[in-house]
Amino acid sequence: MLYKFDEKRNRYDPYGLTCELWAKSKMLKPDRHDELEINFVPSGSVTYLIYDKVVEIPENKLAVFWALTPHQIIHASGQAPYYVCTVPFNIFLNWNFPKEFIKHLLKGSVILDNSNLSLNHELLLFENWRKDIESKSDKLKDIALLELNARLQRLAYNDYHIVGKNLSLDIDLKNVGIVEKIAAYIASNYLQDIKTKDISDIVNLNPDYANRIFKDSFGLTIREYLLNQRISHAKRMLSTSNQKITIIALESGFNSISRFNASFLKICGISPNAYRKQHSHLSNPSFL
């Protein structure tokens, strides 16, 4: 079975422990879920917009990132499917990876494996994980988790690099249209005091028209998308730092704590303080 991103899925809904084959398809809006995501592209490539970074995952390379970071496929080459594994982040944190490795993930970086493992070796691993995790056997799922842990430990203690580059609007990126440029501009500037007109001016469009075509593509108005970016940033800070909520509100682009609290409650259904209690992953986040 080939999976495809469901544009109607609720934001932040967990996938749980999975290993699946996904069809390469453009995503009309970002996905975000509180899990470690592992991608392996046997052939062709997949290109993401992750916050303000364009990240290409080339063929026969394993990539790892924290999926609470907004991520959106904006381009793909080749027709062959690719593998997507998700591991609940609390499980990953209990695996005791090097602090530097975890820090890269928590800060929204994408880690790309530099090892030269053969394609057949990686395919065998991912196929075994896919079958084991989709089985009804808890024992096989435990074995898959052990092997996933070992594969990522090898990555963490060997050669890897951080991929991505800042995306500016004068980049001539193939297949990135007006709505993607608006999304990229918001991803780069959502912490600043920007408004819908400022954003529409960047692409030289009437604000109402820019808002209409953006909503047609992303299902959100420009303002709603901007607000979601800010709330996502706040959620990341709430779950990975001990900073005061007032500071987090200001650093997430809100000019008042009351507006932050109201927006957070509307989007998330709970208060920032309640979210922190439910989702804090680090008992000692000092290394951040």
Q: How confident is the model over 116-122, as a mean pLDDT?
A: 89
CA gap 24, 3 in Å, rounded:
9
Tens-place pLDDT, residues 139-192: 999 999 999 999 999 999 988 988 864 444 343 333 346 776 787 788 778 888
Give the model's pLDDT for residue 9. 86
Q: What's the mean pLDDT when you consider all of the chain? A: 86
Domains in the chain and their CATH numbers?
Answer: 2-165 (2.60.120.280), 173-287 (1.10.10.60)
- pLDDT class for 284, splitting at 50, 70, 90? very low
Tens-place pLDDT, residues 201-223: 888 889 999 898 888 767 789 99
pLDDT beyond 80 at 131: yes
pTM of the model: 0.62
